[in-house]
Amino acid sequence: MRAQVAIIGGGPSGLLLAQLLMAQGIDAVVLECQTKEHVLSRIRAGVLEQGLVEIMRNLGVADRLDTEGMIHNGTVLSYDNDQVRLDFTEHAGKPVIVYGQTEVTRDLYDLREQTSGQTFFECEEVHPQDLKSDAPFVTFRQYGKDFRLECDYVAGCDGFHGVSRQCIPENVRTEYEKIYPFGWLGVLSETPPAHHELIYSNSARGFALCSQRNSNLSRYYIQCDLTDSVDQWSDEAFWDELKRRIPEEVADTMVTGPSVEKSIAPLRSFVCEPMQWGRMFLCGDAAHIVPPTGAKGLNSAAADVHYLSEGLINHYNNNDSRGLEGYSQKALERMWKTERFSWWMTNLLHRFPDQSTFDQKMQRAELEFLAENQLAVAVLAQNYVGLPY
């Protein structure tokens, strides 16, 4: 079996890359270790930068996004009962769109099936090989049968725990990591959003976020201990704690209800350098992780896919390999700026176990500075809506 590009990972970044290549006549095969149903069951972020939105539109797969996506021209930062509204369109010239990552993935799977793109699900023992040669290949097993996929290039879109990054020798790759001493307890509920825009809350009791998926589906988060388990948190306890961390006027009017999904996610910042080795290229979580505070996980993966797809398209269609040769450097230059923003937002809004009263005063001063200084708001807005590709 042969393809020009073997893509390991059938999440949104792998699917996005596959469809961008197929649109230019480049054959890409996707290998996914889970079932399609499992991939579509994952609850993830829902804030899309315009760069990703434009990619979806150019692929012709944005009908539902444009119909169901919620345009957000700003967001709210709160501390105690004080609030600062950040106007994205005023300070950055564009909004973000709230549309769940699950829906992005569903749209891309629908497009892949319409275009007869080849996807192998439930792949086991996936092994990229001969990556430094001119003839790399990937071996895998599906339903007890062994396969060999020969290719020109391999794209590792298989997440933090995937096999792709481990193929870069330890003496070649450098990994930078920060583990945060708390997690996010998230609840999805079939209730109207508490506010028409997202609310990021710095509270003496810890961070909270009021988010949404549509007009009757809301997503809420609270900072929790890493040792907590979902079983410790009843719906009643969650709603009670959330209301204590957000402005009173929002808490008094919000609608609560049974949770549809409840989970705890740890927070980390992580970057692997380089993002390419031989004929393999890493995209998204395979190369980097951001804490979700800045809403950058899926969006940073889309930036990688943009750079890599351009490099591959120019290589095949224009006999120009400069984009492939410089992929890692270009992707990392943007990624470290994205890491900085997510790290800064996390430090601004959370309570840390070893935080002193001085540290808390600094957080307060930073939030008050944002309330008073439009230049500071502009910097935050420009980072939140997404740096240019």
> Does pLDDT of 214 surpass 90?
no
pLDDT value at position 373? 95
What mean pLDDT is predicted for residues 167-195?
A: 96
121-131 per-residue burial string, b: 16 or more CB within 10 A, e: under 16: bebeebebeeb
Distance CA 171, CA 356 (A): 39
Q: Which of 31, 10, 28 is nearest to 19 (CA)?
A: 28
R_g of the chain computed on alpha carbons: 21
**Considering only 52-56, 117-121, 210-214, 229-233, which range has the smallest mean pLDDT?**
210-214
**CATH number (domain holding residue 130):** 3.50.50.60
Amino acid at 122: E
Residue 232 in any domain: the answer is: no
- pLDDT above 90 (res 105): yes
68 inside domain: no
| Residue 280 within a domain | yes
* Cα separations in angstroms, 275 against 69, 137, 282, 286, 304: 32, 19, 5, 9, 10
User: Contact at 8 Å (CB) between 96 and 212?
Assistant: no
Domain count, the chain: 1
Mean of pLDDT values over 261-271: 96
Residue 293: band (very low, low, confident or very high) from pLDDT cuts 50, 70, 90: very high
Residue 79: per-residue pLDDT: 93
Over residues 105-134, mean pLDDT: 96
The pLDDT value given to residue 46:
85
Answer yes or no: are the C-beta atoms of 198 and 218 closer than 8 Å: no
- Does residue 82 belong to any structural domain of this protein? no
Full DSSP string of 156-194: E-S-TTSSTGGGS-TTT-EEEEEEEEEEEEEEEESS--S
Give the H/E segment covering residue 112: helix 101-114
Beta-carbon count within 10 A of 285 CB: 24
pLDDT in the model for residue 207: 98
Residue 215 has pLDDT above 90, yes or no: no
d(Cα 313, Cα 26) in Å, to the nearest integer? 8
pLDDT for residue 41: 86
Q: What is the pLDDT averaged over residues 14-24?
A: 98
Q: At residue 380, what are phi and psi to the nearest 5 degrees?
A: -65, -45
C-alpha separations of 73 from 39, 70, 104 in Å: 30, 10, 20
Lowest mean pLDDT among 11-15, 156-160, 188-192, 213-217: 213-217
Residue whose pair of structure tokens reads 């079932």 in the numeric block: 35
In which element (H, E) is residue 380 found? helix 374-385
Residue 120 lies in a domain: yes
For tokens 């961390």, the residue is: 245
User: What are the percentages of helix, strand and coil residues in the chain, rounded to 5?
Assistant: 40, 30, 30
Encode pLDDT of 32-46 as tens digits.
Answer: 999 999 999 887 778
Q: Enter the pTM of the model.
A: 0.95
Q: What's the pLDDT tens digit per position in 229-247?
A: 999 999 999 999 999 999 9
Residue 54 lies in a domain: no
Residue 234 lies in a domain: no
Q: Select from 380, 12, 354 the least CA-distant residue to 200.
A: 380
Q: Which domain holds residue 332?
A: 5-47+99-177+268-345
pLDDT at 227: 95
Q: Which residues participate in catalysis according to the annotation?
A: 72, 200, 292, 296, 384
pLDDT of residue 44: 74
Band (pLDDT 50/70/90 cuts) for residue 177 is very high
* CA angle centred on 43, ends 42 and 48, rounded to 5°: 115
> Is 132 among the domain residues?
yes
